[in-house]
Chains A and B, each alone.
Chain A
Amino acid sequence: MRSKPETQSHTAATEPLSSTSMDPIFPLLRILPFGFLRPPKLRLKLPTLTLPSPMTVYALVLLTYFMVVSGIVYDVIVEPPGIGSTQDRATGSVRPVVFLPGRVNGQYIVEGLSSGFMFVLGGVGVVLMDLALDRNRAKSVKVSYATAGIASVVIAYVMSMLFIRIKIPAYLR
């Protein structure tokens, strides 16, 4: 209901002043500054606000979901390193550690992002499977959607299980 008055108010403004205007201040403004000032002729157009389509909103939502589930708030507040490092006792060389060990509620930045990516991949896989089943598309497109969807879900699930097993060694034992 908001978008329509914006466009129509613009068309109403360009019409001559003889139209019935309920604005009480407008006649005063006509006399006082604009009696001797001449406003320039600009060719401005008010931007028309239209609501985005549901799928655009869905894409934005997916992006937000990816960021939240990767633990971006944790990254901003606790400021962990991108990747941890540990020193090898025998050789003294510094080895990178991807998964923060020992705690459930702790992460490095990269491990958070990669896990978040896996979750979104799994979700997108289920969406692709639905796209393959529902629409009346070309058969080859449906088959490719279906295989992509199934592959995404399988990869996402396997990788997520792998990640959680690395992070929590005592998982499911």
Chain B
Amino acid sequence: MVGKAEPVNGSVKSGSNQSIPAAMQSPLKKSDLIPNLSLKTLKLKTKQQELLIRVSILCLVYVLAFITRLFSVLRYESMIHEFDPYFNYRTTLFLTEKGFYEFWNWFDSESWYPLGRIIGGTLYPGLMVTAAIIYWLLRFLRFAIHIREVCVLTAPFFASNTTLVAYFFGKEVWDSGAGLVAAALIAICPGYISRSVAGSYDNEGVAIFALLLTFYLFVKAVNTGSLAWALASAFGYFYMVSAWGGYVFIINLIPLYVLVLLITGRYSMRLYVAYNSMYVLGMLLAMQIRFVGFQHVQSGEHMAAMGVFFLLQVFFFLDWVKHLLSDTKLFQAFLRITVTTAIAVGAIALGVGTASGYISPWTGRFYSLLDPTYAKDHIPIIASVSEHQPTAWSSFMFDFHILLFLFPAGLYFCFKRLSDATIFIVMYGLTSIYFAGVMVRLILVATPAVCLISAIAVSATIKNLTLVARAKNKVTQTGFVRGSSSLKGSSKASLDQSQPFQRNGAIALLLGAFYLLSKYATHCTWVTSEAYSSPSIVLAARGAHGNRVIFDDYREAYFWLRKNTPPDAKVMSWWDYGYQITAMGNRTVIVDNNTWNNTHIATVGRAMSSYENEAYEIMRSLDVDYVLVVFGGVTGYSSDDINKFLWMVRIGGGVFPVIKEPDYLVNGEYRVDKGAAPKMLNCLMYKLSYYRFGELTTEYGKPPGYDRARGVEIGNKDIKLEYLEEAFTTSNWIVRIYKVKPPNNRCPYAGNDVPYLPWVPTVLRYHFQAMFHG
């Protein structure tokens, strides 16, 4: 067994392995036992050595994936980042406190006042349930950890698990070497780190693990044809559906893959078993999530899966008929009729379903992926999110580095060795790269595919190079033993002539490959540290002497809200901050990041862009007590509400035509200084941002009222507020909170010619007024 060591090991190992049995057979004295035992245990067989190397690499990669995501925890503290994770944290907290049934049936009256939100039916529960299970498990083991710590560290934990799944997937598609490289690449790839850093408690952290797991299980099912793997992939799909809205990608990619296999003539029983089991069970399980509901049979985005399902039945039926019939001409005629009938019936069913409205058309979010210009013209809310912008080359370079070179090379290797699994990975790679080009956020979905395909390229290239580099040992050994059984005898002879050149060249190329991979590791760590580890709720800057200055204004303002306002106070702000206000400030908000009601957001946008008296009407109709604005003029913070103001105008103007964007621009240019449009200088947002700012000197050598974020001196310095009063401004003026004054005792609707309608609820009354005013 030991003597038949594989050729790659060369001659050295087999020689030393053969020396051991000789040593063992001599009689052992007690004093000889101990050194011989240690000598024996150190010399493992080749298979065990390989296993040890693989397991240790995987363990190191697992730990690496976890610790590279911990930059912000070490620099700041263990807190939740950004905006969306605060909602997830609040719901997880609710789940752990009240239990699953309360969570599943939760109606939240603290957001979207006065409409409320059915949280149980409008969220993807996978992330919260996962974190709650981890939390309960740790508490069962008597680790008394706060739920916030579990939430913060959920994403790095699942990133480590993703590397394991990537290893198995790579092993399935190519071989174990490619699997190891894939695990290592995906552990540090910035495209994945950007959404799974510690503190980023968002759906994608768990969803990418579920995505890769579902794909791996499905490819395994197609390769083996086993029912168990197919059902496992259905459960993986269920986990993905419960975790993220991006499951639509899976339910469209897998049918597309089955279609490609059918077209290239790779129909087989394995494919039939795998797809049918996965589709039927997966669809039934997906309907358990209230947010998804019956979309699998009603929504246009899911119809491709159903179409391919029926097409597979047609294929199976034709196969069976072909097996029964002996006459090929008869079968050809039967084939023609059946195929045309099936396609006709399918088209008619689709047409009837779409025309009658039973099958809903593609929603705007997903339709804008197929037609990227759609969102810009029709849905400004989708177009305004910065993550939804199309991708420039530098974003690709930032997130992928040398994987962008290795991706086409890996595709070449896959095309050279086409099989069911490589076709899948090629399709996954191509579709995900296209979608990543449409939307920056979807680089995350492309990352596993790019890492896997690049791993194939790296593994295949390094294997070839090491074969050439080690060829010298093999030739010298077979030269003694007259190796006619060695595989490429003639090429080895030609190899002999230019031996040192080829070997040195191969070694040089290997060093070059390792150099490139080390540059990749450096780049990834730098990008993680500099770009993707900021909590967004705490800002940091370099002070005058190079020391780090921390701006914790957001949390200061939310804590002030929590402690200094009545518990039933309602806060109006732009929708970006809604989740944070409800989670940390514990107050009711008018609109938040869920953005499910465009008219409600447009109402807030209209209030922010109107003159103060009109805005006061709107705020009274919404029972607003406090208004919160974010202002970056003192610190130079560029993501403040004045920079987002045009989006408020556009969204408000989309519903209420009385708000016109050109009113706020001067010659198409957006300005806040003396030359700004008069409507801009007197609208509510301007007044609330720049109240008392005209007296403040922000920078040495500049006049008072110099806005550091826009770089100009503001136009209207003398601001007087009639219906609001300033309640709180944070220490760096980043968050400003204003209290809405109650109305005067007389003339409640001054300046309004619509009769008083006491029986109509306040919001509807406001909308009636909007209709009359035009």
**Are A168 and B394 interface neighbours, CB within 8 A?**
yes
In the complex, which residues of chain A have a beta carbon less than 8 angstroms from the beta carbon of B107?
none
Nearest CB in chain A to that of B531: its residue:
A104
Nearest CB in chain B to that of A8: its residue:
B332
**Are A123 and B405 interface neighbours, CB within 8 A?**
yes
Asked whether any CB of chain B lies closer than 8 Å to the CB of A120, the reply is: yes
Interface string of A116-153 (1 = CB under 8 A from B): 10011011111101100110100100000010001001
Contacts known (A1-B262, A129-B461); A22 close to B334, Cβ less than 8 A: yes
Nearest CB in chain B to that of A171: its residue:
B526
Most A C-beta atoms less than 10 A away, residue of B339, B390, B391, B408: B408
Asked whether any CB of chain A lies closer than 8 Å to the CB of B523, the reply is: yes
**Are A5 and B335 interface neighbours, CB within 8 A?**
yes
Nearest CB in chain A to that of B522: its residue:
A172
Complex: how many Å from CA A153 to CA B398? Answer: 19
Contacts known (A74-B391, A107-B394); A126 close to B457, Cβ less than 8 A: yes
Asked whether any CB of chain A lies closer than 8 Å to the CB of B389, the reply is: yes
Asked whether any CB of chain A lies closer than 8 Å to the CB of B430, the reply is: yes
Interface string of A96-121 (1 = CB under 8 A from B): 00000000111100011001100110
Complex: how many Å from CA A37 to CA B335? Answer: 29
* B319 → A minimal CB distance (Å): 9
**Are A70 and B393 interface neighbours, CB within 8 A?**
yes
Nearest CB in chain B to that of A74: its residue:
B390
Most B C-beta atoms less than 10 A away, residue of A57, A65, A105, A120: A105
Asked whether any CB of chain A lies closer than 8 Å to the CB of B372, the reply is: yes
Contacts known (A1-B265, A5-B332, A77-B373); A71 close to B464, Cβ less than 8 A: no
Contacts known (A21-B333, A104-B398, A119-B405); A68 close to B437, Cβ less than 8 A: yes
Nearest CB in chain A to that of B333: its residue:
A22
**Are B376 and A127 interface neighbours, CB within 8 A?**
no
Asked whether any CB of chain A lies closer than 8 Å to the CB of B559, the reply is: no
**Are A130 and B405 interface neighbours, CB within 8 A?**
no
**Are B433 and A164 interface neighbours, CB within 8 A?**
no
Asked whether any CB of chain A lies closer than 8 Å to the CB of B357, the reply is: no
In the complex, which residues of chain B have a beta carbon less than 8 angstroms from the beta carbon of A44?
none
In the complex, which residues of chain A have a beta carbon less than 8 angstroms from the beta carbon of B507?
none
**Are B437 and A69 interface neighbours, CB within 8 A?**
yes
* A147 → B minimal CB distance (Å): 10
Q: Which of A20, A57, A104, A157 contacts B415 (CB 8 A)?
A: A57
In the complex, which residues of chain B have a beta carbon less than 8 angstroms from the beta carbon of A89?
none
Interface string of B159-184 (1 = CB under 8 A from A): 00000000000000000000000000
Most B C-beta atoms less than 10 A away, residue of A8, A12, A68, A172: A68
**Are B491 and A51 interface neighbours, CB within 8 A?**
no
| Count of residues in B whose CB is under 8 Å from the partner chain | 67
Complex: how many Å from CA A8 to CA B330? Answer: 12
Complex: how many Å from CA A2 to CA B461? Answer: 37
Nearest CB in chain B to that of A125: its residue:
B405
Complex: how many Å from CA A107 to CA B373? Answer: 18
Asked whether any CB of chain A lies closer than 8 Å to the CB of B336, the reply is: yes
**Are B391 and A71 interface neighbours, CB within 8 A?**
yes
In the complex, which residues of chain A have a beta carbon less than 8 angstroms from the beta carbon of B531?
104
Complex: how many Å from CA A41 to CA B596? Answer: 63
Which of the four size classes fits the interface of chain A? 35 or more
Asked whether any CB of chain A lies closer than 8 Å to the CB of B348, the reply is: no
Contacts known (A2-B263, A172-B522); A73 close to B390, Cβ less than 8 A: yes
**Are A58 and B415 interface neighbours, CB within 8 A?**
yes
Q: Which of B372, B389, B397, B530 contacts A160 (CB 8 A)?
A: B397
CB interface residues, B 739-757, toward A, < 8 Å: none
Q: Which of A112, A122, A130 contacts B461 (CB 8 A)?
A: A130
Contacts known (A64-B430, A65-B433, A73-B437); A126 close to B390, Cβ less than 8 A: no
Asked whether any CB of chain B lies closer than 8 Å to the CB of A19, the reply is: yes
**Are A76 and B263 interface neighbours, CB within 8 A?**
no
**Are A69 and B396 interface neighbours, CB within 8 A?**
yes
**Are A115 and B397 interface neighbours, CB within 8 A?**
yes
Asked whether any CB of chain A lies closer than 8 Å to the CB of B238, the reply is: no
Asked whether any CB of chain A lies closer than 8 Å to the CB of B381, the reply is: no
**Are B332 and A73 interface neighbours, CB within 8 A?**
no
Complex: how many Å from CA A160 to CA B393? Answer: 11
Asked whether any CB of chain A lies closer than 8 Å to the CB of B402, the reply is: yes
Asked whether any CB of chain A lies closer than 8 Å to the CB of B494, the reply is: yes
Asked whether any CB of chain A lies closer than 8 Å to the CB of B460, the reply is: yes
Interface string of B380-416 (1 = CB under 8 A from A): 0000000001111111111000101111110111011
CB interface residues, B 256-273, toward A, < 8 Å: 262-265, 267
Complex: how many Å from CA A65 to CA B433? Answer: 8
Asked whether any CB of chain A lies closer than 8 Å to the CB of B23, the reply is: no
CB interface residues, A 57-88, toward B, < 8 Å: 57-58, 61-62, 64-65, 68-74, 76-78
Most A C-beta atoms less than 10 A away, residue of B396, B433, B434, B505: B396
Nearest CB in chain B to that of A152: its residue:
B405
Asked whether any CB of chain B lies closer than 8 Å to the CB of A54, the reply is: yes
In the complex, which residues of chain A have a beta carbon less than 8 angstroms from the beta carbon of B332?
5, 8-9, 12
Complex: how many Å from CA A81 to CA B372? Answer: 19
Nearest CB in chain B to that of A6: its residue:
B336
In the complex, which residues of chain B have a beta carbon less than 8 angstroms from the beta carbon of A130?
409, 412-413, 460-461, 464
In the complex, which residues of chain B have a beta carbon less than 8 angstroms from the beta carbon of A9?
332, 336
Q: Which of A57, A62, A64, A69 contacts B404 (CB 8 A)?
A: A69
Contacts known (A1-B265, A157-B402); A126 close to B415, Cβ less than 8 A: no
**Are A22 and B337 interface neighbours, CB within 8 A?**
yes
Contacts known (A22-B337, A106-B392, A123-B409); A146 close to B505, Cβ less than 8 A: yes
**Are A107 and B408 interface neighbours, CB within 8 A?**
no
Taking A5-B335, A69-B396, A168-B394 as given, write out 5 further A-B residue pairs in contact, using a Cβ cutoff of 8 Å, ordered by the A residue number: A57-B415, A65-B407, A69-B393, A74-B390, A115-B393
Give the 3 A-B residue pairs with the shortest CB-CB distance, closest first: A123-B408, A122-B405, A126-B409
Name A's B-contacting residues (CB within 8 A). 1-2, 5, 8-9, 12, 19-23, 51, 54-55, 57-58, 61-62, 64-65, 68-74, 76-78, 104-107, 111-112, 115-116, 119-120, 122-127, 129-130, 133-134, 136, 139, 146, 150, 153, 156-157, 160, 163-164, 167-168, 170-172
20 pairs of residues in contact across A and B, judged by CB atoms under 8 Å: A1-B267, A5-B336, A8-B332, A12-B329, A19-B329, A61-B408, A61-B430, A68-B437, A69-B393, A74-B390, A76-B373, A78-B389, A107-B394, A111-B393, A123-B404, A123-B409, A126-B409, A160-B404, A170-B530, A171-B526
